[in-house]
């Protein structure tokens, strides 16, 4: 039976993605939690299996082969707790497989409850198909017909501050209730109410019998000035699992193994990013990005406050066929260092959408895939940035806020043929400003750590410090308003042994100062022309900045913010090739 | 490694459930032969709804309005019928603005269903009805040749199939199309000519089977009133050799195109059916395979997208591809005789 992670040892964490199911084992080695190994298998949630259990079992069996330790009994059930070298003490699971949850958002005012509810919808894998609010010009019966036609899986319903409006919310409740009543019982949606607390009981009694599952959480807008998504997010996470249990075979069993703590992968990632932001330097944010087949996820946390954006429409899988609704071919083409036609890119989008599990085998396909990764991450980040708290620090409005560190996941990034390619994808897409460390989650551990964090706060910290993640580079990205070619920075890296490397950086340059893993040094920066490296225009830290070794060392990205490309296609391709060459990609 | 399976089969048996979205009436009986366009079940439901707010219109409280409502749930109402009446010196009457059925009455309101939509469920597959599923639909069993596609424009039709190509590489061009092709299902390699789709619609043809199509034609293809099925995907890829051989062998046979969009979750995909007379049912095709030597496979991505071959061996460990990616890979001998390396993730078993 599932038990608490506290005072126990091993943890087996399974993440069921759209393409791959991963099983990761964590155990105590010499008194510290360590990532031991992982096993992978294709996800079997879709046809022909239509049951994700098979993929989960295969992933665990592959882990058994790697670790020579048995986790599944003869009856294919999880052995828990561990006994005589078999099994595992605790189990955690996360899930991102499956089509986005079809969602209707209902609230009162566009810029108050509706806006907050839409933000709430973006914290899990949802696709908002309609919004109903006070400014909706449709008659109630037209709203009912819309709900009947769309047959949503989920209704997110908010509105009214606590002790505020009730009548308008009640009218909306009637509309929802009538639509749900008219839907066949097996097609009734789940509903989350996060509005005026005064109406909670009324909503429960009125809508409970008409929905597949109903959850009431504290008001996400308790007053006009305050937005508090966290309780509603927690309830939504539970409801999401509930919806998936009804939609996908095998979710029930997985949730049982996980002691009823199965959660959406993105929420687990968000949770660990928030957790880390409480541990790290609170003056900067922590950024986590993940690009998978099911969605692009951006989690940014500032002093414990999380902004999470989950974009199923921006996944690198089936959603690609519709990607051009959110960006343009030109924006994708600009990242490609090879001479590839727009039609070839368009064909790629559709072919990959048909075969989301397939991999780029040719240099041309890889170039397109990596260009898509850049553009998708850029679109996702720009979208989520609108929801960042106002107090976050930027070098200039419109630029990426200061982050330290930036964690990146998703095989298009972490499994790129060269680490320089991984880094350039991230630098291009995120365009960080100031000084930051880029870390790769090569083993897709963030969801597992997030799923475990609420029950065992030691495990994520110890695993993060154990070297299970790859420190990719320390990046220095100055922001300056100057002409290309203007000197903007003198850099001096003093190694532990007293040796020095020096660089004079001009605007437009991308340079590397090697500092291998295991070494450390001190970086002295002298900004010129009021360049800002995170300390303010022209400011620096005279005592230098301590830096530790990473796979690619210290990378000075002085290409300018925002990045600008030559208009001539040939020159543009040449410059991208040069950047790749500089980073060893 | 588990592998996806695609069917390109000269003779097989397929059983498919066809279900209504809501309960309805089944229109066929067990053992009845149906073609793909036959209606096998139908359901009726209201087209839209109308909410008559009696309380608000008469200016009374909801509970008071309940007593003024003159209709019951289930009543059929004609335009002008009295919905509610308030007595008094100046009586007030609410009349139905249109015909329909009262379906719900409460809180001083009447919800009416107006208009009617008749949903007809077509067989989608030629064959014999082998089972009725109470109120919801039927199971149909098909015997014959089957080619599964990867993209469909949502249409369905039947016609005699006419190959428009003398080799798997020959594209479809408008100049090839004339009135003699009216009512036919056309088979071609690929199409990047908008005029070809336009002319095909004007003839009209009963469908087009292509190996691939330019993605620029998608909006036009989605507007077409005849089915279009892509067997291999997008771009300018020739029709794969297995499909080419099977389909050209069955030229001038009655062919059903069910160009439903691909749905990976449910496994629904566009399909081409060529019914054949059989004395004994062929075995049902396997839906799940594990990659192994000697299997016929199709490559799904460049540089050999759509090519058919035989899996020779699974490479141990990881192999570096020309893209630089390290992946689990296999050696495949293509039908052309060329031996190539392909990521396992880019293979599907042909069965």
Q: Domain for residue B73, yes or no?
A: yes
- Mutation to test the B interface, candidates A18, A351, A356, most B Cβ within 10 Å: A351
Q: Domain for residue B29, yes or no?
A: no
Torsion-angle region of residue B341: left (phi > 0), alpha (psi -120 to 50) or beta?
Answer: beta
Are B8 and B152 within one domain?
A: yes
Return d(Cα A349, Cα A368) in angstroms, integer: 9
Are B112 and B153 within one domain?
A: no
Nearest CA in chain B to A412: B325
- Mutation to test the B interface, candidates A55, A246, A329, A347, most B Cβ within 10 Å: A347
Torsion-angle region of residue B337: left (phi > 0), alpha (psi -120 to 50) or beta?
Answer: left
Are B224 and B301 within one domain?
A: no
Residues of chain A contacting residue B265, judged by C-beta atoms under 8 Å apart: 45-47, 50, 98-99
Are B147 and B219 within one domain?
A: yes
Yes or no, beta carbons of B288 and A49 under 8 Å apart: yes
Domain that holds residue B239: 2-16+140-275
- Of the partner residues B104, B267, B321, the one whose CB lies closest to the CB of residue A181: B104
Q: Domain for residue B23, yes or no?
A: no
pLDDT at A328: 97
Low-confidence residues of chain A, pLDDT below 70?
A: 1-8, 281-282
Are B193 and B270 within one domain?
A: yes
Domains and CATH numbers, chain A: 11-93+252-257 (3.30.420), 101-247 (3.40.50.280), 267-582 (no CATH)
Residues of chain B contacting residue A44, judged by C-beta atoms under 8 Å apart: 2
State the pTM of this model. 0.94
- In this structure, what CATH number is given to the domain that contains residue B227? 3.50.30.10
Instruction: Judge contact between A445 and A473, C-beta under 8 A.
Output: no
Question: Does pLDDT of B292 surpass 60?
Answer: yes
Q: Domain for residue B285, yes or no?
A: no
Q: Domain for residue B322, yes or no?
A: yes
- Choosing from B69, B86, B117, the residue where a domain stops is B117
How do B271-275 and B254-258 pair as beta strands? Answer: antiparallel
Yes or no, beta carbons of A361 and B323 under 8 Å apart: yes
Q: What percent of chain A has pLDDT over 70?
A: 98
Are B311 and B245 within one domain?
A: no
Cis link prior to A551 (omega < 30° from 0)? no
Question: Does pLDDT of B267 surpass 70?
Answer: yes
CA separation, residue A280 to residues A277, A283, A318, A461 (Å): 5, 9, 36, 11
Q: What percent of chain A has pLDDT over 90?
A: 90
Q: What is the distance in angstroms between the Cα of A403 and the nearest Cα belonging to chain B?
A: 30
Q: Domain for residue B127, yes or no?
A: no
Return mean pLDDT, chain B.
94
Instruction: Judge contact between A572 and A566, C-beta under 8 A.
Output: yes
- In this structure, what CATH number is given to the domain that contains residue B311? 2.30.30.30
Instruction: Judge contact between A526 and A545, C-beta under 8 A.
Output: no
- Choosing from B275, B301, B319, the residue where a domain stops is B275
CB burial string A221-244: b at 16+ within 10 A, e below: bbeeeebbbeebbebbbbbbbbbb
Are B109 and B168 within one domain?
A: no
* The pair of three-digit structure tokens given for residue A220, joined into one six-digit string: 């996400």
Beta-carbon count within 10 A of A502 CB? 11
pLDDT tens figures, A210-219: 999 999 999 9
Are B174 and B242 within one domain?
A: yes
Residues of chain A contacting residue B288, judged by C-beta atoms under 8 Å apart: 48-49
Yes or no, beta carbons of A361 and B342 under 8 Å apart: yes
SS3 A535: coil
Are B261 and B186 within one domain?
A: yes
- In this structure, what CATH number is given to the domain that contains residue B69? 2.40.50
pLDDT tens figures, B28-56: 999 999 999 999 999 988 889 999 999 99
- Choosing from B245, B275, B305, the residue where a domain stops is B275
Are B179 and B266 within one domain?
A: yes
pLDDT at A8: 60
Q: What are the helix (H) ranges across A103-166?
A: 115-121, 140-150
pLDDT tens figures, B100-118: 999 999 889 999 999 888 9
- Collect all residues with Cβ–Cβ distance below 8 Å to A307 and sequence separation of at least 6: A299, A300, A301, A384, A387, A388, A389
Return d(Cα B22, Cα A453) in angstroms, integer: 44
- Collect all residues with Cβ–Cβ distance below 8 Å to B44 and sequence separation of at least 6: B24, B116, B117, B118, B119
Q: What is the distance in angstroms between the Cα of B263 and the nearest Cα belonging to chain A?
A: 9
Return d(Cα A149, Cα B119) in angstroms, integer: 14
pLDDT at A4: 44
Residues of chain B contacting residue A142, judged by C-beta atoms under 8 Å apart: 48
Q: What percent of chain B has pLDDT over 90?
A: 87
- Count of domains observed in chain B: 3
Residues of chain B contacting residue A144, judged by C-beta atoms under 8 Å apart: 49, 51, 111
Residues of chain B contacting residue A49, judged by C-beta atoms under 8 Å apart: 288
Yes or no, beta carbons of B49 and A181 under 8 Å apart: no
Residues of chain A contacting residue B115, judged by C-beta atoms under 8 Å apart: none
Q: Domain for residue B35, yes or no?
A: no
Return d(Cα A151, Cα A129) in angstroms, integer: 10
- Of the partner residues B234, B264, B346, the one whose CB lies closest to the CB of residue A359: B346
Residues of chain B contacting residue A363, judged by C-beta atoms under 8 Å apart: 322-324
Nearest CA in chain B to A344: B235
pLDDT tens figures, B51-108: 999 999 998 998 899 999 999 999 999 999 999 999 888 889 999 999 999 999 988 9
Q: What is the distance in angstroms between the Cα of A519 and the nearest Cα belonging to chain B?
A: 29
pLDDT at A281: 65
Are B301 and B264 within one domain?
A: no
ipTM of the complex: 0.92
Return d(Cα A449, Cα A58) in angstroms, integer: 22
Question: Does pLDDT of B318 surpass 70?
Answer: yes
pLDDT at A471: 96
Query: What totals of helices (H) and strands (E) does chain A contain, helices first?
Result: 16, 22
Nearest CA in chain B to A148: B48
Are B98 and B247 within one domain?
A: no
């Amino acid at each position: 039976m599932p038990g608490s992670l506290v005072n126990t040892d091993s943890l087996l964490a399974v993440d069921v993605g759209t393409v791959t199911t991963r099983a990761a084992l964590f155990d105590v080695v010499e008194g510290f939690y360590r990532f031991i190994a992982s096993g992978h298998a294709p996800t079997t949630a879709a046809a022909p299996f239509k049951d994700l259990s098979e993929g989960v079992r295969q992933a665990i069996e592959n882990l058994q082969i790697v670790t020579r330790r048995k986790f599944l009994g003869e009856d294919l059930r999880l052995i828990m707790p561990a006994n005589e070298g078999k099994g595992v003490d605790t189990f955690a699971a996360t899930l991102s497989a499956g089509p986005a949850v079809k969602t209707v958002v209902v609230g009162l005012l566009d810029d108050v409850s509706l806006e907050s509810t839409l933000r709430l919808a973006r914290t899990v894998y949802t696709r908002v198909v309609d919004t109903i609010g006070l400014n909706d010009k449709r008659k109630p019966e037209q709203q009912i017909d819309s709900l009947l036609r769309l047959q949503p899986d989920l209704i997110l319903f908010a509105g009214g501050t606590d002790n505020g409006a009730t009548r308008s919310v009640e009218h909306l409740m009637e509309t929802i209730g009538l639509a749900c009543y008219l839907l066949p019982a097996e097609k009734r949606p789940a509903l989350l109410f996060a509005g005026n607390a005064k109406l909670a009981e009324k909503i429960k009694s009125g809508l409970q019998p008409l929905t597949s599952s109903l959850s009431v959480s504290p008001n996400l807008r308790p007053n006009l000035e305050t937005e508090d998504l966290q309780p509603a997010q927690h309830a939504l996470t539970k409801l999401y699992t509930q919806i998936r249990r009804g939609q996908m075979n095998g979710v029930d069993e997985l949730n049982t193994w996980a002691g009823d703590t199965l959660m959406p992968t993105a929420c687990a990632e968000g949770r660990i990013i928030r957790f880390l932001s409480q541990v790290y330097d609170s003056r900067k944010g922590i950024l986590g990005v993940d690009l998978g087949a099911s969605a692009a996820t951006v989690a940014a946390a500032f002093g414990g406050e999380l902004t999470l954006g989950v974009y199923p429409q921006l996944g690198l899988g089936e959603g690609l066929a519709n990607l051009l609704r959110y960006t343009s071919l030109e924006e994708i083409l600009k990242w490609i260092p090879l001479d590839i036609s727009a039609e070839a890119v368009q064909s790629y989008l559709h072919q990959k959408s048909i075969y989301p599990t397939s991999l780029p085998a040719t240099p041309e396909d890889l170039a397109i895939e990596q260009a898509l990764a850049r553009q998708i991450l850029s679109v996702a980040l720009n979208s989520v940035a609108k929801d960042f708290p106002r107090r976050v620090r930027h070098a200039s409005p419109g630029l990426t806020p200061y982050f330290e560190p930036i964690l990146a996941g998703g095989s298009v990034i972490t499994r790129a043929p060269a680490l320089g390619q991984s880094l350039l994808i991230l630098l291009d897409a995120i365009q960080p400003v100031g000084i930051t460390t880029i870390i790769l989650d090569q083993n897709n551990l963030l969801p597992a750590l997030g799923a475990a964090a609420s029950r065992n706060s030691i495990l994520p910290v110890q695993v993060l410090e154990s070297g299970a993640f790859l420190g990719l580079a320390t990046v220095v990205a100055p922001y300056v308003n100057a002409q290309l070619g203007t000197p903007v920075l003198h850099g001096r890296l003093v190694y532990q042994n007293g040796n020095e490397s020096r660089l004079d950086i001009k605007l437009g340059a991308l340079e590397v100062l090697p500092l291998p893993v295991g070494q450390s040094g001190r970086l002295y920066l002298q900004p010129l022309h009021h360049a800002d490296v995170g300390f303010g225009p022209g400011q620096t830290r005279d005592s230098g900045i301590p830096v530790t070794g990473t796979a690619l060392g210290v990378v000075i990205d002085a290409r300018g913010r925002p990045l600008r490309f030559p208009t001539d296609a040939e020159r543009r391709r040449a410059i991208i090739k040069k950047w790749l060459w500089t980073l060893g990609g | 490694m588990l592998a996806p399976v695609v069917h390109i089969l000269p003779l097989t048996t397929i059983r498919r459930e066809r279900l209504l979205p809501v309960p309805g009436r089944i229109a066929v009986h067990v053992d009845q032969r149906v073609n793909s366009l036959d209606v096998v079940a139908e359901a009726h439901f209201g087209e839209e709804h109308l909410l008559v707010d009696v309380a608000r219109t008469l200016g009374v409280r909801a509970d008071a309005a309940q007593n003024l409502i003159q209709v019951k749930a289930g009543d059929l109402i004609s335009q002008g019928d009295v919905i509610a009446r308030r007595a008094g010196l100046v009586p007030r009457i609410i009349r139905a603005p249109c015909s329909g059925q009262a379906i719900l009455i409460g809180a001083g309101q009447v919800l009416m269903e107006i208009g009617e939509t008749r949903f007809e469920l077509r067989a989608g597959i030629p064959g014999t009805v082998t089972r009725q599923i109470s109120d919801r639909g039927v199971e149909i069993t098909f015997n014959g040749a089957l080619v599964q596609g990867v993209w469909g424009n949502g249409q369905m039709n039947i016609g005699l199939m006419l190959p428009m190509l003398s080799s798997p590489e020959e594209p479809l061009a408008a100049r090839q199309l004339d009135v003699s092709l009216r009512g036919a299902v056309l088979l071609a390699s690929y199409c990047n000519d908008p005029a070809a789709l336009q002319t095909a619609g004007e003839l009209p043809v009963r469908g087009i089977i292509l190996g691939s199509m330019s993605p620029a034609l998608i909006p036009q293809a989605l507007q077409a009133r005849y089915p279009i099925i892509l067997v291999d995907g997008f771009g300018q890829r020739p029709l794969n050799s297995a499909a080419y051989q099977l389909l050209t062998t069955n030229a001038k046979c009655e062919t059903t195109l069910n160009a439903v969009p691909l749905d990976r979750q449910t496994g629904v995909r566009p399909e081409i059916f060529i019914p054949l007379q059989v004395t004994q049912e062929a075995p049902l095709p396997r839906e799940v395979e594990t990659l192994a030597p000697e299997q016929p496979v199709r490559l799904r991505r460049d540089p050999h997208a759509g090519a058919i071959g035989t899996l020779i061996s699974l490479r141990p460990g990881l192999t570096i591809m020309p893209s630089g990616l390290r992946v689990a890979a296999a050696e495949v001998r293509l039908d052309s005789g060329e031996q190539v390396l392909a990521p396992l993730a880019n293979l599907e078993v042909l069965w």
